[in-house]
Amino acid sequence: MPAPRRARTRLSCGLAATAVAAGLAAAPLAAVPGRLRPALAWLAALGLVLAAAAALRLGSLLGPALVVLVAEHAVVAVRAGARVDAAAPLVGAGLLLYAELASWAREANPRVRDERAVLTTRAAVVAASTLAAVVVGALVLLAAALPAGEGLARLAVGVVATTATLALVAVVARPTATRAPPG
């Protein structure tokens, strides 16, 4: 694949990620009426700028971009009161899709020629991850709706899940293992 096409891969992934991020940033604006909308619009704009920057130029902004986009949806969720937002699995899947596309854009080095099989597999993994994310989000919402999970039990599950995630943070943040190359 010639270099310009490889550069196009990078650009198209970046633009696709930005488009997904724009959708994620714009969606909550419709759900929030009144005086909160301008503030949320500013938050959406900030999220979009961060997301575009992360996808197109600065990969280190991926975390902050995700945080701002999630914060926007958190505001909407809190404002919704007792009603559970059924679109949350789609938001989760969208966030994952955005993050994967942005990472792909950063990975797609124009100096490296990717074989077609590598690109196809990557696209398949991203698509499958997105679909799986919808399923996982839906399962979470279904689990939340179960009557057995009221009160203390549900809180315990939440605490365990959060603790597990924080443990994951600790695992990921540990020093990297280095193994000498064989031979």
Partner 1 sequence: MTRRPSAKIAAYVGVAALTLLAGLSLGRPELVAVAAPLAVLVVAGLAGARDPEVDAEVRVDRERALVGDQVTVSLDLRAATRVERLELLLVVPPGMAGPDGGPGGSRLAPRRAGGGPGGSRLAPRRAGGGTRTWAVAVSLAAGEERTLDVPVTCHRWGAYWLGDVHLRAHDRFRLFTWERHLDGHAPLKVFPVPDALRALVSPFETQVSTGSHVAASRGDGIEFADLRPFLPGDRPRSINWRATARRGTLMVNQRHPERATDVVLFLDSFLDVRGAAGSTLDQAVGAAASLASAYLRQRDRVGLVSFGGFVQWLQPGSGQAALYRLLDTLMETQVFATAAWKGIRHLPPRTLPAKALIVALTPLVDERGVAALFDLLARGYDLAVVDISPLTPAAPAGGGEWGELAQRLWALERETLRHRYQRLGAAVVEWTEATTLQQVLLEVEACRRHAGLAPG
Residues that bind partner 1 (CB under 8 A): 2-3, 6, 59-60, 62-63, 66-67, 70, 73-74, 77-78, 84-85, 88-89, 91-93, 95-96, 99, 103-104, 107, 109, 111-115, 117-118, 121-122, 125, 129, 132-133, 136-138, 140-141, 143-144, 155, 158-159, 161-162, 165-166, 168-169, 171-173, 176-179, 181-182
Closest approach of Cβ 33 to partner 1, in Å? 19
Cβ–Cβ < 8 Å for 89, 60: no
Cβ–Cβ < 8 Å for 89, 134: yes
Nearer to partner 1, 38 or 63 (CB): 63
Nearer to partner 1, 7 or 11 (CB): 7
Closest approach of Cβ 61 to partner 1, in Å? 9
Q: What is the dihedral of CA 21, 144, 139, 104, to 10 degrees?
A: 20
Nearer to partner 1, 3 or 127 (CB): 3
Closest approach of Cβ 165 to partner 1, in Å? 5
Rounded distance between C-alpha atoms, residue 74 and residue 28, angstroms = 10
Rounded distance between C-alpha atoms, residue 63 and residue 84, angstroms = 26
Nearer to partner 1, 39 or 166 (CB): 166
Closest approach of Cβ 98 to partner 1, in Å? 11
Cβ–Cβ < 8 Å for 56, 14: yes
CA separation, residue 118 to residues 10, 13, 53, 108, 113 (Å): 15, 15, 26, 11, 10
